[in-house]
Amino acid sequence: MFRRLDRNTLISFAGLLVGILGLLIQWAADPAKFANGEKSVGFSAFPPGILFILGAGLLMLATARWWWHPVFGVLIAFWIVVVGGLSNQLTPNLFSSNPGTVAGNVVMVVGLATAGIAGVIGMVKTRRAKPVASAR
């Protein structure tokens, strides 16, 4: 059913896990940031980005038989890192006075950038390696 996962796919999965680790570091450093105005720390304060990254990883795994399966890791990395940076959601956290928030963001960005780059490289290599049907 599933094909053997190649090196780039495994690197992409590892990058997604590192991205989740970065979010967990941020959460531990400042749980109130994820509470959406609530005072209590509980499930409502859980960083939602973890679920999005986990969902992208599960979609990658579910579609592993097709050459384009890393696209989900690439899209979540692009959304969080590039769109988050352009919309000024990521930048303030990188320059926060809380060292845990900064460290968590650096870890998350490095992990997601790795996942995105490995995903693109994996898709290109796998697509190029597919035999092309000859026209008769």
pLDDT tens-digit readout, 7-17: 999 999 999 99
Structure tokens that stand for 30 in this block: 């400042």
Residue 80 lies in a domain: yes
Query: 14 burial class (0-12, 13-18, 19+ CB within 10 angstroms)?
Result: middle
Q: Which of 135, 83, 136 is nearest to 112 (CA)?
A: 83
Residue 59 lies in a domain: yes
55: enclosing H helix or E strand: helix 48-62
Residue 4 lies in a domain: no
| Number of compact structural domains in the chain | 1
Residue 75 lies in a domain: yes
Q: Which of 81, 72, 70, 84 is nearest to 11 (CA)?
A: 70
Q: DSSP class of residue 33?
A: G
Residue 121 lies in a domain: yes
Residue 62 lies in a domain: yes
Structure tokens that stand for 125 in this block: 């290599």
Q: Which domain holds residue 43?
A: 16-127
Q: Are 30 and 98 in contact (CB under 8 A)?
A: yes
Residue range 16-57, pLDDT digits in tens:
999 999 999 999 998 888 776 555 545 557 888 999 999 999
Residue 5 lies in a domain: no
Residue range 94-133, pLDDT digits in tens:
899 999 999 999 999 999 999 999 999 999 998 888 765 5
Residue 86 lies in a domain: yes
Structure tokens that stand for 107 in this block: 């870890």
